[in-house]
Amino acid sequence: MNNVIKVSQKAGLPPGSLIHVGDIRGSKVQIRVLDYCADSVNEYEFDNITKALTSPNNGHVRWIEVAGIHRVEVIEKLGNYYDIHPLILEDILNTKQTPKIDQQSEYVFITAKNLAYQNDSERIAVQQVSLILGENYIITFLETDHDCFRSIKERLKNPKSKIRTLPADYLAYAILDCIVDHYYMVLEDMGEKIELIENLIMKESNPTVLHTINRIKREMLIIRKAVWPLREVMNSIGRGDSQLFHESTLVYIRDVYDHTIQIIDTIEMYRDMVSGMLDIYLSSVSNKLSEVMKILTIISTFFIPLTFIVGIYGMNFKMPELEFEYGYAGVWIVMISISLLMFRYFRQKRWL
Amino acid sequence: MNNVIKVSQKAGLPPGSLIHVGDIRGSKVQIRVLDYCADSVNEYEFDNITKALTSPNNGHVRWIEVAGIHRVEVIEKLGNYYDIHPLILEDILNTKQTPKIDQQSEYVFITAKNLAYQNDSERIAVQQVSLILGENYIITFLETDHDCFRSIKERLKNPKSKIRTLPADYLAYAILDCIVDHYYMVLEDMGEKIELIENLIMKESNPTVLHTINRIKREMLIIRKAVWPLREVMNSIGRGDSQLFHESTLVYIRDVYDHTIQIIDTIEMYRDMVSGMLDIYLSSVSNKLSEVMKILTIISTFFIPLTFIVGIYGMNFKMPELEFEYGYAGVWIVMISISLLMFRYFRQKRWL
Amino acid sequence: MNNVIKVSQKAGLPPGSLIHVGDIRGSKVQIRVLDYCADSVNEYEFDNITKALTSPNNGHVRWIEVAGIHRVEVIEKLGNYYDIHPLILEDILNTKQTPKIDQQSEYVFITAKNLAYQNDSERIAVQQVSLILGENYIITFLETDHDCFRSIKERLKNPKSKIRTLPADYLAYAILDCIVDHYYMVLEDMGEKIELIENLIMKESNPTVLHTINRIKREMLIIRKAVWPLREVMNSIGRGDSQLFHESTLVYIRDVYDHTIQIIDTIEMYRDMVSGMLDIYLSSVSNKLSEVMKILTIISTFFIPLTFIVGIYGMNFKMPELEFEYGYAGVWIVMISISLLMFRYFRQKRWL
Amino acid sequence: MNNVIKVSQKAGLPPGSLIHVGDIRGSKVQIRVLDYCADSVNEYEFDNITKALTSPNNGHVRWIEVAGIHRVEVIEKLGNYYDIHPLILEDILNTKQTPKIDQQSEYVFITAKNLAYQNDSERIAVQQVSLILGENYIITFLETDHDCFRSIKERLKNPKSKIRTLPADYLAYAILDCIVDHYYMVLEDMGEKIELIENLIMKESNPTVLHTINRIKREMLIIRKAVWPLREVMNSIGRGDSQLFHESTLVYIRDVYDHTIQIIDTIEMYRDMVSGMLDIYLSSVSNKLSEVMKILTIISTFFIPLTFIVGIYGMNFKMPELEFEYGYAGVWIVMISISLLMFRYFRQKRWL
Amino acid sequence: MNNVIKVSQKAGLPPGSLIHVGDIRGSKVQIRVLDYCADSVNEYEFDNITKALTSPNNGHVRWIEVAGIHRVEVIEKLGNYYDIHPLILEDILNTKQTPKIDQQSEYVFITAKNLAYQNDSERIAVQQVSLILGENYIITFLETDHDCFRSIKERLKNPKSKIRTLPADYLAYAILDCIVDHYYMVLEDMGEKIELIENLIMKESNPTVLHTINRIKREMLIIRKAVWPLREVMNSIGRGDSQLFHESTLVYIRDVYDHTIQIIDTIEMYRDMVSGMLDIYLSSVSNKLSEVMKILTIISTFFIPLTFIVGIYGMNFKMPELEFEYGYAGVWIVMISISLLMFRYFRQKRWL
Over residues A281-287, mean pLDDT: 79
**pLDDT confidence band for B269 (50 / 70 / 90):** confident
Rounded Cα distance between C247 and C108, Å, is 16
Q: What is the 3-state secondary structure (H, E, C) of chain A?
A: CCCCCCCHHHCCCCCCCCCCECCCCCCCCEEEEEEECCCCEEEEEECCHHHHHHCCCCCCEEEEEEECCCCHHHHHHHHHHHCCCHHHHHHHHECCCCCEEEECCCCEEEEEEEEEECCCCCCEEEEEEEEEECCCEEEEEECCCCCCCHHHHHHHHCCCCHHHHCCHHHHHHHHHHHHHHHHHHHHHHHHHHHHHHHHHHHHCCCCHHHHHHHHHHHHHHHHHHHHHHHHHHHHHHHCCCCCCCCHHHHHHHHHHHHHHHHHHHHHHHHHHHHHHHHHHHHHHHHHHHHHHHHHHHHHHHHHHHHHHHHHHCCCCCCCHHHHCCCHHHHHHHHHHHHHHHHHHHHHHCCCC
Q: Please give the model's pTM, rounded to 2 decimal places.
A: 0.79
Question: Going by C-beta distance under 8 Å and a sequence separation of 6 or more, which residues neighbour residue D275?
Answer: none
pLDDT digit string, tens, across residues E223-255: 988 999 999 999 999 988 888 999 889 989 999
- Cβ distance C311 to D310 less than 8 Å, yes or no, reads yes
* Other Cβ atoms closer than 10 A to C320: 10
Cα-Cα-Cα-Cα torsion C202, C206, C208, C209, nearest 10 degrees, comes to: 20
- Hey, are the CB atoms on D181 and E288 less than 8 Å from each other? no
d(CA B164, CA B175): 14
User: Alpha-carbon torsion A91, A92, A97, A99, what sign?
Assistant: positive
D280 — contact with chain C (CB < 8 Å)? no
Which E residues 228-267 touch D at CB under 8 Å? none
Confidence label for E65 from pLDDT (cuts 50, 70 and 90): very high
Of D5, D210, D313, the CB nearest to C187: D5
Query: How far apart (Å, rounded) are the C-alpha atoms in residues C216 and A193?
Result: 39
Q: What are phi and psi of C33, to 5 degrees?
A: -115, 135
Q: Give E220→chain A minimum CA distance, Å.
A: 15
Give residue-wise pLDDT tens across range C97-120.
889 999 888 999 999 999 987 766
Q: What is the predicted pLDDT for the residue at A3?
A: 39
Is D336 in the C-facing interface, judged by CB distances under 8 Å?
no
| Cβ-based contacts of E292 with chain D (< 8 Å) | 290, 293-294, 297
C-chain residue closest to B267, CA distance: C4
Task: Tell me whether residues D276 and E225 touch, CB distance under 8 A.
Answer: no
- 8 Å CB contact of C182 and D14: no
CA distance A254 to chain B (A): 10
Question: Helices B247-312 and B168-203 meet at what angle, rounded to 10?
Answer: 10
Classify residue C34 by its DSSP letter.
Answer: E
Indicate the length of chain E as a whole number. 352
CA atoms within 13 A on the CB side of E306: 27
- Kindly state the average pLDDT of the residues C28-42: 89
| Cα(B41)–Cα(C98) distance, integer angstroms | 38
Residues on chain A touching E315 (C-beta within 8 angstroms): 310, 313-314, 328, 331
According to CATH, what is the number of the domain D291-348?
Answer: 1.20.58.340
What average pLDDT does this structure show over D171-176?
94
Instruction: Check whether B4 has a pLDDT greater than 50.
Output: no
Q: Lowest mean pLDDT: which of A320-334, C139-153, C164-178, D11-25?
A: D11-25
Assess whether pLDDT exceeds 90 at residue D111: yes
DSSP secondary structure code for residue B99 in this structure: P
Report d(CA B85, CA B300) in Å as an integer.
Answer: 79
The answer, for E339 touching chain A at a CB cutoff of 8 Å, is no
* Residue B105: partners with Cβ closer than 8 Å, 6 or more residues away: none
Rounded distance, CA A314 to CA A331, Å? 12
CB contact under 8 A, B269 and C295: no
Q: How does pLDDT run across E166-194, given as a tens digit for each residue?
A: 999 999 999 999 999 999 889 988 888 88
Indicate yes or no: CB of C276 within 8 angstroms of CB of D211.
no
Q: Which residues of A touch B331 (CB under 8 A)?
A: 315, 317
Q: Which chains touch D (3 or more CB pairs under 8 A)?
A: C, E
DSSP E238-280: HTT--TTS-HHHHHHHHHHHHHHHHHHHHHHHHHHHHHHHHHH
In angstroms, what separates the C-alpha of D101 from chain C's closest C-alpha? 11
Taking an 8 Å cut-off on Cβ atoms, the answer to whether D307 and E306 are in contact is no
Q: Determine whether domain C289-348 maps to CATH 2.60.40.1730.
A: no
Q: Which of A3-12, A282-291, E112-121, E139-148 has the lowest mean pLDDT?
A: A3-12
How many Å apart are CA E81 and CA E71, to the nearest integer?
16
Residue A165 has pLDDT above 70, yes or no: yes
Spatial contact of A257 and E257, defined as CB atoms under 8 Å apart: no
- What's the pLDDT at A5? 39
Question: 3-state DSSP call for residue E135?
Answer: coil
CATH fold, domain B293-348, is Methane Monooxygenase Hydroxylase; Chain G, domain 1 (1.20.58)
- Asked whether the beta carbons of residue D296 and residue E300 sit closer than 8 angstroms, the reply is no
Chain C touching partners, 3 or more CB pairs below 8 A: B, D
User: What percentage of residues in chain D have a pLDDT greater than 70?
Assistant: 93
Cβ-proximal residues to E347 (8 Å cutoff; 6+ apart), any chain = none
pLDDT tens sequence across D246-305: 988 998 999 999 999 989 988 988 988 888 888 888 777 777 788 888 888 888 888 888
User: If you average pLDDT over residues B52-81, what whole number do you get?
Assistant: 88
Taken as a whole, chain C contains a residue count of 352
Q: Do C316 and D315 touch (CB under 8 A)?
A: yes
- Kindly tell me if the per-residue pLDDT of E3 is higher than 50: no
CA–CA min distance A182, chain B (Å): 7
Nearest CA in chain C to B252: C15
Q: Which CATH class is domain E292-348?
A: mainly alpha
* A320 contacts in chain B (CB < 8 Å): 328
Would the ipTM clear 0.85, i.e. be above it? no
Please state, as a whole number, how many other Cβ atoms lie within 10 Å of the Cβ of residue B22: 16
Chain E neighbours (≥3 Cβ pairs under 8 A) are A, D
Q: What is the largest CA-CA distance in chain D?
A: 120
- B30 CA to chain A: closest CA distance, Å? 29
The mean pLDDT of chain B is 85
Whether the predicted pLDDT of D130 surpasses 50: yes
User: How far away is chain B from the Cα of C334, in angstroms, using its nearest Cα?
Assistant: 13
pLDDT at C151 over 70: yes
**pLDDT for the residue numbered C112:** 94
**Which of B56-60, C38-42, E267-271 is predicted with the least confidence, judged by mean pLDDT?**
B56-60
pLDDT at D79: 92
- Please answer yes or no on whether D299 and C296 come within 8 Å at the CB atom: no
E311·A311 Cβ contact <8 A: yes
**In D, which residues are within 8 Å of E315 by CB distance?**
316
Q: What is the pLDDT of residue A10?
A: 62
Q: E194 and A328: CB-CB below 8 Å?
A: no
C63 has which bridge partners? C34, C138
> Is the CB of residue D221 less than 8 Å from the CB of residue C269?
yes
What gap in Å lies between CA E67 and CA E63, rounded to an integer? 13
What is the pLDDT confidence band of residue A295, given thresholds at 50, 70 and 90? confident
More confident of the two residues C121 and A303: A303
State whether E279 and A278 contact (CB < 8 Å): yes
Amino acid at C181: D
Residue B178: closest CA among chain C residues belongs to which residue?
A: C12
Query: For the residues C45-55, what does the mean pLDDT come to?
Result: 87
Residues D189-206 have pLDDT tens digits of: 888 888 888 888 766 666
Predicted local distance difference test score (pLDDT) of residue E6: 47
pLDDT in tens, A10-69: 666 777 777 887 776 666 788 999 999 888 899 898 888 888 888 888 888 999 999 888
Return the SS3 of C65.
strand
CATH number of the structural domain C8-283: 3.30.460.20
Interface of C with B in 47-76 (CB under 8 A): none
To test the contact with chain E by mutation, choose from D195, D291, D308 the residue with the greatest count of E C-beta atoms within 10 A, namely D308
Q: Any residues with CB less than 8 A from the CB of A307 and at least 6 apart, and which? A: B303, B307, E304, E307, E308, E311
Do the chains contact at C3 and B261, CB–CB below 8 Å?
Answer: no
DSSP-based three-state secondary structure for E333: helix
Residue of E nearest to D294 (CA): E292
Q: Do E191 and A4 touch (CB under 8 A)?
A: yes
pLDDT attached to residue C141: 93
Query: Hey, where are the domains in chain D?
Result: 8-283, 291-348
CATH number for the domain formed by residue range(s) A8-152+165-283:
3.30.460.20
Cβ distance C283 to D204 less than 8 Å, yes or no, reads no
CA dist C7 and E298 (Å) reads: 57
> Could you give the 3-state DSSP secondary structure of residue E183?
helix
Q: Which of residues 178-217 of D touch E (CB under 8 A)?
A: 178, 181-182, 184-185, 187-188, 191-192, 194-195, 198, 202
H helix runs in chain C, sequence order: 49-54, 72-82, 86-93, 150-157, 168-203, 208-238, 247-312, 320-323, 327-348
